[in-house]
């Protein structure tokens, strides 16, 4: 049994190469061990004291979010709130203040839950994930990371060190909304994120939509781009996007919701996300998170 | 086996403790059983109820699901650290006055979340109080009087 506190990425990567499991907040790792009854790993390495993993930095191409940036930091970071708002919406909905104080973006991404709130925003904003090992560093589109619930294409010796987001550009907006039965300590019943870029006339130049908790991984609604291009976001378009989202969903039925209910409501969430993203792109202020500021979900 | 234990230094309510803990030991168990401060409660032991809430470097954390080794070198505040010179904090007094305590099991966790909230935001709105206490379950009070107590403590502060 061992626990090492890493002070540098190199130290963390070396420990992981030796079989240690990385721990940032521990909220997924420790709770999941309780649920499954499986013991915690024999060797762990704490990665929550590595300065370069704890910051949101501007890069030439956009921003780099260190893997151990917490949900509490994300929801309050001015750069994230202004330019990557859907991610702030999602971070602000995670768990409770205590969860958000220890939960990290890297933990979310590597835990690969199809119900993760931050996943759909990352997909629609074109995120790349940075994975580092003793052999080097590589980046992959976030959609290529997840293969199934709790399963990724990362090798066991790789550490997620950052999530990279491209610059959003002008006249853009994004939003994440979810269906929830209570306001705190909740997991998305279903959710949707939208990112929209408007043209000079106020019509959609580009739009992406991704869905939460309706498939084995976060999924993108590929039809959304062609469906929305050149059109103004109005009721008719929102209804069409809702239908496309419902069609893309492959939901399961479980104690939280039936499959048909999920299929219907994910369409509603997609249309609301599109509407909020377009309004933000048009300059309207909608506070973070959209669920609270527009009264979506539990009251 | 001695190699199964890790040395952990904690400052709890301003007092330094040197502990030898198993790497899998929760901070909650370390606080209750190793440090001996039992005000912090074990509720769900699943990161849901908030009875185990402590402040780690001033921020609320569910100690049931936070490893003691992760807290090495950090500063902890537990409910025992809120009173000063035998006098309850303004928030503790307000909670009693408002009738926000019934069975009392959630009270330490509520106090820790609310203390951190008021530290960060001395004049919270009702909505901000609700969000701040979102990780703390109470099965007795219906929350109304707890929220009222936080409002009273905030007003008293100003």
In chain A the domains, ranked by start, together with CATH numbers, are 172-289 (3.30.390.50)
pLDDT value, residue B158: 47
> What mean pLDDT comes out for the span B76-85?
97
Predicted structure pTM score:
0.96
Task: Inform me whether the C-beta atom of residue A147 falls under 8 Å from chain B C-beta atoms.
Answer: no
Q: Give pLDDT tens digits for A150-204.
A: 999 999 999 999 999 999 989 999 999 999 999 899 999 999 999 999 999 999 9
Q: What is the pLDDT of residue B3?
A: 63
Low-confidence ranges of chain A (pLDDT < 70): 299
Of B6, B46, B61, Cβ closest to residue A102 = B61
CA–CA min distance B59, chain A (Å): 7
**Do residue B135 and residue A96 have CB atoms under 8 angstroms apart?**
yes
Q: Which residues of B touch A95 (CB under 8 A)?
A: 47, 135
For B4, which residue in chain A has the nearest alpha carbon? A1
Please give the CATH topology (third level) of the domain spanning B90-157. DNA polymerase; domain 1 (1.10.150)
Contacts made by residues B123-130, CB under 8 angstroms, sequence distance 24+:
B123/B154, B123/B157, B123/B158, B124/B150, B124/B154, B126/B151, B127/A292, B130/A183
Q: What is the mean pLDDT of chain B?
A: 95
Q: What is the pLDDT of residues A73-88, one digit of tens each?
A: 999 999 999 999 999 9
DSSP three-state, residue A160: strand
Q: To the nearest whole angstrom, how far is the Cα of A68 from the nearest Cα of chain B?
A: 14
- What CA–CA distance (Å, rounded) separates A30 from A49? 19
Question: Does the pLDDT value for residue B157 go beyond 70?
Answer: no
Spell out which residues of chain A touch residue B69, defining contact as CB-CB under 8 Å: 3, 5, 46
Hey, where are the domains in chain B? Answer: 2-80, 90-157
Per residue in B109-128, pLDDT (tens digit) is 999 999 999 999 999 999 99
Asked if residue A281 lies in contact with residue A162, where contact means CB atoms within 8 angstroms, the answer is no
CATH class, B2-80 region: alpha beta
Mean pLDDT, residues B147-156: 94
* pLDDT tens by residue, B32-56: 999 999 999 999 999 999 999 999 9
Other beta carbons less than 10 A from residue B7's beta carbon: 10
């Amino acid at each position: 049994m061992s626990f090492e506190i890493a002070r540098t990425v190199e130290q963390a990567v070396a420990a992981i190469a030796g079989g240690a499991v990385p721990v940032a907040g521990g909220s997924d790792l420790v709770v999941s061990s309780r649920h499954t009854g499986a013991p915690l790993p024999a060797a762990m390495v704490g990665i929550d004291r590595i300065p370069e993993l704890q910051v949101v930095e501007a890069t030439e191409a956009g921003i780099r979010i260190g893997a151990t940036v917490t949900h509490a930091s994300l929801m309050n970071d001015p750069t994230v709130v202004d330019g990557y708002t859907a991610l702030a919406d999602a971070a602000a909905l995670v768990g409770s203040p205590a969860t958000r104080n220890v939960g990290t973006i890297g933990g979310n991404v590597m835990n690969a839950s199809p119900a993760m709130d931050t996943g759909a925003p990352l997909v629609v904003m074109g995120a790349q994930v940075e994975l580092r090992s003793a052999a080097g560093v590589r980046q992959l589109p976030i959609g290529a990371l997840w293969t199934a619930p709790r399963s990724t294409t990362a090798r066991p010796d790789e550490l997620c060190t950052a999530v990279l987001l491209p610059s959003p550009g002008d006249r853009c907006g994004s939003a994440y909304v979810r269906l929830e039965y209570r306001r705190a300590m909740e997991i998305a019943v279903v959710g949707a994120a939208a990112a929209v870029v408007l043209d000079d006339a106020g019509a959609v130049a580009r739009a992406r939509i991704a869905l939460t908790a309706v498939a084995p991984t976060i999924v993108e609604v590929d039809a959304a781009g062609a469906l929305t291009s050149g059109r103004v976001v109005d009721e008719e378009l929102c209804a069409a996007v809702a239908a496309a989202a419902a069609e893309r969903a492959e939901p399961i039925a479980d104690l939280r919701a039936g499959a048909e209910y999920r299929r219907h409501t994910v369409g509603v969430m997609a249309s609301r996300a599109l509407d909020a993203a377009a309004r933000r792109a048009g300059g309207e202020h909608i506070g973070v998170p959209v669920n609270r500021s527009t009264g979506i979900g539990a009251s | 086996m001695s190699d199964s234990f890790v040395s952990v230094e904690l400052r709890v309510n301003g007092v330094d403790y040197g502990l030898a803990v198993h790497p899998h030991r929760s901070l909650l168990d370390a606080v209750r059983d190793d440090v001996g401060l039992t005000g912090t409660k074990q509720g769900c032991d699943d990161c849901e109820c908030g009875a185990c809430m402590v402040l780690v470097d001033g921020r609320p954390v569910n100690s049931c699901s936070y490893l003691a080794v992760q807290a090495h070198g950090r500063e902890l505040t537990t409910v025992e650290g809120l009173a000063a010179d035998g006098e309850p904090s303004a928030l503790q007094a307000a909670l009693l006055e408002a009738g926000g305590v019934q069975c009392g099991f959630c009270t330490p966790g509520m106090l820790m979340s609310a203390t951190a909230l008021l530290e960060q935001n001395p004049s919270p709105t009702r909505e901000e109080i609700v969000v701040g206490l979102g990780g703390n379950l109470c099965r007795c009070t219906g929350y109304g009087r707890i929220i009222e107590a936080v409002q009273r403590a905030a007003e008293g502060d100003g």
